Chain A
């Protein structure tokens, strides 16, 4: 994969995720999936993309997340070692993420097309409650004479909450940064730690394979141990399985209710609290490369899991499409059934009778034999008259059935009517049907009719050839096979001659018994006629079957295929959905493969426990 190629794949994949997310938000029962898709998109753009680009692991990103008022800003200040984040009594004050860079040597800010997606970097300093799709980057002021910052290679992100009513508008910014993060610090207060919304968010983070440190805040110091235990049991005990299959140990820390002094001086008065926090974070990221590799590998795994879950997104759409398909197929069945009953069962293929006549003529001798055969024809006349008059009495008059075109057109109209009625009936249940119902009369029906007319013309041309060809084949079989023809001809002649001879011989001298000659000759001819009629009847049956197959092949099946496809063509969301569903798993597989290649080449696989936990300076 060329560098530009993976860029294309990444941006296409991120775009597809974004589209799917919008698609989910439009359907009330799928809104829950939208967050997962946004996270997938964020992981693609913010983690996998830069990694494949070969960007360095430094800086690691630490995101501080949690419910409103739980003390995220306080935790950020503790990590920064100075009061940098605005703590505000108002719940849900922070409305966009802010990155804090540690003092010391600067590192390149990640640059990748689509990094942090829709969020724009603010160039000037703005209050944390600026409610726009932006982020800020601030630098932590250096303390004079202090030792190097313990989290020197890390960016600390202060994030908005996900619990207040306004959070619906900015939870995407939170997901953007959570996707980027290598370590997530999950802050929960004694009031919030068992709340549903933050817990769901925690589940999402675990399923994305993020390294997580939980900080419980605000409890009385005496309750700290009990609270941590309760949290482990109630919340961590019910975590979903992470993409790697095992539930990684999640460190839980307690940060009891702080005095204002402690809050104001994280590096001084509150140093013990701070040291424990920093220690916990460094424990989950032993080295920058290892931490980043874990983030990327888990992100790729999450994507492949998310890719499998994509069918969930489309389930209802696909189910409706299936229902439409079934309706089209039912209509097709009805159409063919009607054709069979109304037309084909009564169709005699009259032109075949002409070929029967010609077959009969073939049995008559040519040349001089003509005269004899004319004589025999005369001899047979009384029998023929008798037979024909009797037949006329018995036979029912032929009735012209309904013409084929009328039957087919009426059946087609019923097919369309059935589909339209179906669409109208279900219009309230799903957007697909609604769209079908509204576009039916103006778009679908005329287009379908046009197609029908065209297909019917093809059908008519081919079927006319069919009958002719079948008749020709009958004749040709005899003409091409002189042996058969002459033996049949000779057989009939032989029979005639034998009868004449036998009658003459046995009734000699000639008397009225000579009348047996015309009778006998007529009988042989009748036999020949029956034989030919059976032949033609067989052809007729075959023609019926062929005609039906022809109808299916040239008319109904193409039409049914077209109708089935119709809802997912013409730039509809269903078309897009199908494209996306097709494209996304391929792109994910490609990225996953690429990531694993790069991981094994660029970073040799880490040994069981290669990185000892770095010691944290005890002094503050």
Chain B
């Protein structure tokens, strides 16, 4: 027998009449015209993988934790691996040896191969590079990528044609990199041969790995170095102890082979010539290496392989379903409504305070505002009345104009405690910008951060996770800025102005009448007075004296003053009168602005998350469908022993 790692090796054919290992049914041949179950499964799995990757790639409002993401990505990889492995005529069954250092994994593989293909020695740990043992008809490219990097050994044993046996590094030595290599290989395995020895059959490290993997793949057990277990001492034998442990883990009737691989390897090496080497002499009682070999060669028929593969996919799907269901976004529609109600109150209170702050910032400039209003209010007046009003307004607000022109800004500011400097030329927009800037710097900016904190706490108290809202509210808070306040103040002022200049109802009538009369009566009075004087002069030759001449001016003036008084009484534009109205208007506008910015966030988020949830639900139903499809086509092969409950 000669073996090497690059060319095919010849190995004796399997024993003609193999004894059937206990617990294994005689191999059944597959029904001839069974549809190729596994090949049809591959596209389904690919579809699931694609969707899962989409789920992972889409930006989620309810972000996955790092652990969830890693798990789902691992599952997506598994889906692809399964799909690729199944999409062939004869799927390969990967059987992986797993166990602590020194239990004889490599010796076992060597004994199976009948030659030392994997390094075995007394130094621990021995195997650092995994060995892959597979049939020569299988092209290395067909192996899983994780296996291609290992040492590849080919053979020509037809009984093992569809099987790949992998020897792995240990899981418990001081060389921690070995453990990583094993972990990288394990996802490829369909069946794990958990190899133990008298010392290590239930070591914690191996046992934990087994518990972690047992839901995902098939397990069979080998108790190697069986000779060491037969000490003749009192007490529970290791195999019995192990079976008890496994039973507690849910393996009622596990496949457990008691082997002494070293003896078989020695026998094989001492046996020259072709043909199966005879069993070594003086085998310990109950040695089952031959059973193990038979099970691998004959017990695992095509039917069994397909069943193991299908079961592996089924378990993967269960796992996938659980993982995706656990990562399903929460249902937040009801909390969102509660949050909205709570926020409304908070925002209204906040708007109230903001309005107060803005009004009090504007307060010192009431004369300017009044001035502005007066000017606007007098726009419709023309002629004598217009000219008179302009003149009086200018006189009345001479102070504010003067103040702006006085070159005192430096100490004026200091004495007044850093108030706003009005622009030299009066401009309402600029002025209000300045006002809101000051208000923002002094008060409102800090209130915004405080408001966001308050809102977040409200939300959390109403059952809406704070973490989901944090980002949205923060970016909203950035938008909701001075622009908004400026706009609100300008709008409120404009509204007040509109109400003042374009009143409704009886005020409108009054204003129209006043405007009409104010624009006509003084001129009429002037003309009438002049006409009267002229009439007297021409008809009666009455030369007007100074008093009469003065009447030309005085009578229109009196008329104008009367109208002015009427305007002041009936259409007032004094600040105390506007203030209240302005405050109410501003409060409403600010509340509306705040609500526009914040109020929709919970519902939008809830809606977006609900959509994500739906997407996940759809994916879950699809997983369920594939599961059902698979369950309906599960074949009744004898593989139950490989799986626990």
Contacts and interface: CB of A to CB of B under 8 A. Distances in A.
Interface of A: 67-70, 86-93, 163-168, 189-197, 199, 219-220, 223, 226-227, 230, 234-235, 238, 260, 334, 337-338, 341-342, 345-346, 348, 392-394, 396-397, 399-402, 410, 413-414, 417-418, 420-421, 424-425, 441
A70 B172 CA distance: 15
Nearest to B452: A421
A424 B447 CA distance: 20
B450 A414 contact: yes
Nearest to A196: B174
Given A87-B231, A91-B200, A192-B102, A341 B446 contact: yes
B236 A393 contact: no
A348 B418 CA distance: 11
Contacts of B449: 334, 414, 418
Given A338-B446, A424-B466, A91 B198 contact: yes
B548 interface: no
Contacts of A413: 450, 454
Contacts of B417: 345-346, 348
B399 A394 contact: yes
Contact of B443 (A194, A195, A342): A342
Given A89-B236, A417-B454, A191 B366 contact: no
B565 interface: no
A556 to B, nearest CB: 15
A193 B466 CA distance: 52
Interface residues of B, number: 69
Given A199-B174, A227-B122, A234-B174, A337 B446 contact: yes
B202 A165 contact: yes
Nearest to A400: B360
A93 B237 CA distance: 11
B453 A421 contact: yes
Interface in B430-460: 441-443, 446-447, 449-450, 453-454, 456-457, 460
Closest 10 CB pairs of A and B: A393-B399, A69-B199, A414-B450, A191-B102, A88-B235, A396-B364, A194-B124, A417-B453, A165-B207, A399-B363
Interface string B403-443: 10010000000001111000000000000000000000111
A392 B231 CA distance: 114
A163 B453 contact: no
Contact of A394 (B103, B230, B402): B402
14 contacts: A69-B199, A89-B198, A90-B241, A163-B172, A163-B204, A191-B197, A191-B199, A194-B173, A196-B172, A196-B176, A417-B450, A418-B453, A425-B456, A441-B461
B205 interface: yes
B366 A397 contact: yes
B467 interface: yes
A430 B498 CA distance: 58
A195 B453 contact: no
B232 interface: yes
Contacts of B453: 414, 417-418, 420-421
Interface of B is mostly: helix
Contacts of A91: 198-203, 238, 241
Contact of A418 (B201, B208, B238, B450): B450
Interface string B222-259: 00000001111111111001000000000000000000
Contacts of A194: 101, 124-125, 173-175
B388 interface: no
A334 B416 CA distance: 25
A90 B238 contact: yes
| Residue in B176, B198, B400, B449 whose Cβ sees the most chain A Cβ within 10 Å | B198
Interface in B162-210: 172-176, 197-205, 207-208
B132 to A, nearest CB: 25
A348 B176 CA distance: 72
Contacts of B232: 260
A345 B363 contact: no
| Residue of B124, B176, B400, B461 with highest tally of chain A CB at under 10 A | B124
Given A230-B123, A342-B442, A197 B234 contact: no
Most buried by A among B360, B402, B453: B453
A87 B233 contact: yes
A165 B100 CA distance: 13
Nearest to B211: A165
A164 B363 contact: no
B399 A392 contact: yes
Contact of B203 (A165, A190, A425): A165
Contacts of A165: 202-204, 207-208
A334 B203 contact: no
B365 interface: yes
A382 B356 CA distance: 40
B482 to A, nearest CB: 15
B125 A86 contact: no
Contacts of B199: 67-70, 91, 189, 191-192
Contacts of B124: 190-195
Given A165-B204, A396-B416, A417-B457, A341 B442 contact: yes
A431 B202 CA distance: 34
A196 B406 CA distance: 87
Contacts of A402: 356-357, 360, 443
A89 B174 contact: no
A424 B198 contact: no
Contact of A191 (B200, B207, B364, B466): B200
A605 B197 CA distance: 49
B439 to A, nearest CB: 10
B89 to A, nearest CB: 42
A461 B353 CA distance: 27
Interface centre among A86, A164, A191, A424 (most CB of B within 10 A): A191
B107 to A, nearest CB: 12
Contacts of B175: 194
B457 A401 contact: no
Contacts of B100: 191, 195
B406 A190 contact: no
Contacts of B418: 345
Interface centre among A168, A196, A401 (most CB of B within 10 A): A196
B231 to A, nearest CB: 5
B236 A90 contact: yes
A197 B204 contact: yes
Contacts of B443: 338, 341-342, 402
A227 B238 CA distance: 26
Interface in B102-127: 102-103, 122-125
B570 interface: no
Contacts of A230: 123
B470 interface: yes
B101 A334 contact: no
